[in-house]
Amino acid sequence: MVLLTFNIANIEAEPQNGSQITDEERLRISEDNTKAILRILDLHDIKASFFVEVSLTGKLQNLIKAISSKGHEIAFYNKGSNLEEIENAKKDIQDLLEKQIRGIRQKDVKVSQERLKMLEFNYVSNIDNANILFPFKRLERDTEITEEDGLSIVPESISPYSQLPYNDFVFQILPMKFYQNMVLETLQNDEFVLIYLNSWQFTDFKKYRFDIPFYRSLFSGKKMEDKLDALLTFLNERDMATSRMKDYIF
């Protein structure tokens, strides 16, 4: 099973050469990038899970409704919100969609699993930092979903042969043929592959001059759209099953 997931969060980098990019512009970039992702998913009739950054949920309600109306899952991405902010956002979005928010993803700042269970989340999908050296670390990690504190804990996926993780940077930088072979090899060994990308990776950095490392601008924007399209074409041609996170876990 392929679990395709996207993190919706504004790019945090500063503009180049002292130019200004307002918070409203950053938000619009995130919306436009997400709409590009949705168009590609629609083209291939594939459903995914979207992890929306908690602090943006109140500002992206129209986008969240559009994502949900197309059959995709809405979950939360906590980048630094406290328990009360998460609780309020969860209530607001559940009222908006008339659906339960089951999943949450965290990276640097992590609310305890016990407290997340109190907020009636059902699963946690935590992720690590991804930089240029990260893929060269030899990783050893359990790749099976476990149950802790009443929550399903979904680990990041790792290729058992190349030992590369399926994080945002690896997808962006690897040739698609190599990545496709990784997916095939992993599914021979594991029951699922969890792939996650960031909406900001679909930014046109020639148009929006953010001060980011050169390796993060490689194959971004339209090239990321083309790579996502190529991956989904590959999955459909191989009749490989895909699923939203909540459906696979429950």
Task: Tell me the pairing of strands 123-124 and 146-148.
Answer: unpaired
In sequence order, which ranges of 104-167 are alpha helices (DSSP H)? 113-118
Q: How many CB atoms lie within 10 A of CB 145?
A: 16
pLDDT of 131 over the 70 cut: no
| Confidence (pLDDT) at 138 | 47
Q: Determine which of 14-23, 35-44, 124-133 has the lowest per-residue pLDDT on average.
A: 124-133
pLDDT-based confidence at 229, cuts 50/70/90? Answer: very high
pLDDT (mean) for 180-207: 95
Task: Name the packing angle between helices 23-44 and 61-69 (round to 10°).
Answer: 0
Task: Tell me the pairing of strands 146-148 and 151-153.
Answer: antiparallel
Spatial distance between the Cα atoms of 128 and 139, rounded to a whole number of angstroms:
12
Spatial distance between the Cα atoms of 161 and 155, rounded to a whole number of angstroms:
17
Report the candidate in 66, 12, 5, 61 with the shortest Cα–Cα distance to residue 35: 66
| Confidence (pLDDT) at 140 | 57
Each residue's pLDDT tens digit, 84-100: 999 999 999 999 999 99
Spatial distance between the Cα atoms of 52 and 107, rounded to a whole number of angstroms:
13
pLDDT (mean) for 50-67: 98
Q: Taking the C-alpha atoms of 143, 149, 150 and 156 in order, what is their torsion angle to the nearest 10 degrees?
A: -20
Q: Determine which of 26-30, 201-205, 208-212, 240-244 has the lowest per-residue pLDDT on average.
A: 208-212
Higher pLDDT: 103 or 108? It is 103
Can you read off the two tokens belonging to residue 202?
């679909």
pLDDT of 119 over the 60 cut: yes
Report the candidate in 154, 145, 146, 86 with the shortest Cα–Cα distance to residue 119: 86
Spatial distance between the Cα atoms of 183 and 56, rounded to a whole number of angstroms:
32
Q: Give the mean pLDDT of the chain.
A: 92
- Asked if residues 99 and 74 have their Cβ atoms less than 8 Å apart, the reply is yes
pTM for the complete prediction? 0.94
pLDDT of 139 over the 70 cut: no
pLDDT of 132 over the 70 cut: no
Q: Give 3-state DSSP helix, strand, coil % of the chain, rounded to 5.
A: 45, 15, 40
Answer whether CATH 3.90.1150.10 is correct for domain 2-249. no
Higher pLDDT: 242 or 130? It is 242
- Using left for φ > 0, alpha for ψ between -120 and 50, and beta otherwise, residue 231 falls in alpha
pLDDT (mean) for 245-249: 97
Coil, helix or strand at residue 95 = helix
What percent of the chain shows pLDDT beyond 90?
76
- Rounded (5°) CA angle 244-249-250: 100
Report the candidate in 43, 86, 89, 36 with the shortest Cα–Cα distance to residue 66: 36
How big is the chain, counted in residues?
250
List residues bridging with 7 in a β-sheet: 51, 198
For the chain, what are the domain ranges? 2-249
Spatial distance between the Cα atoms of 15 and 211, rounded to a whole number of angstroms:
5
pLDDT (mean) for 16-21: 80
Higher pLDDT: 16 or 44? It is 44
